[in-house]
Amino acid sequence: MLDVPNILLGITAAVNVGLTWFVYERSRDNPVNKLFALFVLFVALWALAILWFRITIDVAAALLLIKLSYVFALLLAFCFYRFAILFPPSSPPAATTGARLDILVGLLALALLVPGVLARGIVFHPWGKETTLEPLAWTLFAAMFLLFFLAGR
């Protein structure tokens, strides 16, 4: 379906993939560039997941895509937080703190993909798809998402 939201999601994804490449190629060894490139890449992946969710008519695929969109959103918030800690350059946080947080976010991202944990179902309506969300998992996702963006400001 070619409508304005889908076109805008496609443009967003394409521009952000290009920006990812541009930022990463400017200084591959700089951790700030790597984190910003990852942030932008997850924005692109989020837009693609939403675009494919909107297009697909398969319930299983739509369920997986909506879950992936939440995972990409969580990871982009986390990359923003990590980027904000390193930019402008100052003393980096302790390696063990970063590793523990990486593991926690990785486990939460994997948990969001488990069947029935976040998105429980897809309901088709004449106006599009509706996702049935599990309130506890959505609240945990929203809290972590907001925490990363607020802590990174």
First to last CA, the chain: 37
Q: Pick 19 or 94 by higher pLDDT.
A: 19
**pLDDT above 70 for 91:** no
How many domains does the chain contain in total? 1
Which range of residues forms the domain containing residue 142? 4-151
**pLDDT band at residue 96 under the 50/70/90 scheme:** low
Report angle CA 112, 24, 144 to the nearest 5 degrees: 25
Name the helix (H) or strand (E) containing 108.
helix 95-113
- For 51, other C-beta atoms within 10 Å of its C-beta total 20
Question: Which residue reads 């897809």 in tokens?
Answer: 122
CA distance linking residue 106 with residue 122, whole number of Å: 25
